[in-house]
Amino acid sequence: MRNVAQAFADIVRSEYVPYSSLESVIEHSKEAYYLALRQTQGTIRTESPNWQPWLVFFLRSLAEQMWRLEKKVEREKIVLAAMPELQLQIVEFAREHGRVTIGEAIKLTSASRNTLKQHFRTLVERGTLNQHGSGRGVWYDLR
């Protein structure tokens, strides 16, 4: 159990991790969830409740989520490694601030508006950023 918790903590501490829900892991294994829940609930009001079925299910779910997060981090590293420096700067700014505008990117990078517009367009087309609005009020956030 300590190894799973430590590995999970290392992933969360060392890398940006896109959203991942434990609920989706549990939803995927509903039958095992309800079986473990029934087995544990059946002993709750006894002198020696048996928590093992529920704890084993929960720890396996955490291990599955950790595996999914590791895969997401690996995929993200590959995607980021292929990005031009300007796009990396834009994505990092959006991560740190929750959103980014072309004006903010100009201040950050000193690149021209037209160059940045091309990079923003590419990031939207590749599914890295969402575009909100249009014209001078447009802003972007991470997908």
Separation between Cα atoms, residue 39 and residue 47, nearest integer Å: 15
pLDDT tens figures, 108-141? 999 999 999 999 999 999 989 999 999 889 999 9
pLDDT at 17: 47
Residue 115 CB partners (closer than 8 Å, separation 6+):
86
The residue with tokens 């002993």 is 43
Q: How many Å from the N-terminal Cα to the C-terminal Cα in the chain?
A: 33
Domain covering 85-142 in this structure, CATH number: 1.10.10.10
More confident residue, 59 or 7: 59
pLDDT at 22: 85
pLDDT tens figures, 29-79? 999 999 999 999 999 999 999 999 999 999 999 999 999 888 888 877 777
For the chain, the domains span 22-81, 85-142
Separation between Cα atoms, residue 60 and residue 57, nearest integer Å: 5
Residue 83's pLDDT band (cuts 50, 70, 90): confident
Q: What is the pTM of this model?
A: 0.52
Give the pair of three-digit tokens for residue 47: 């002198």
Nearest to 86, CA basis, from 113, 66, 65, 68: 113
Q: What is the mean pLDDT of the chain?
A: 86
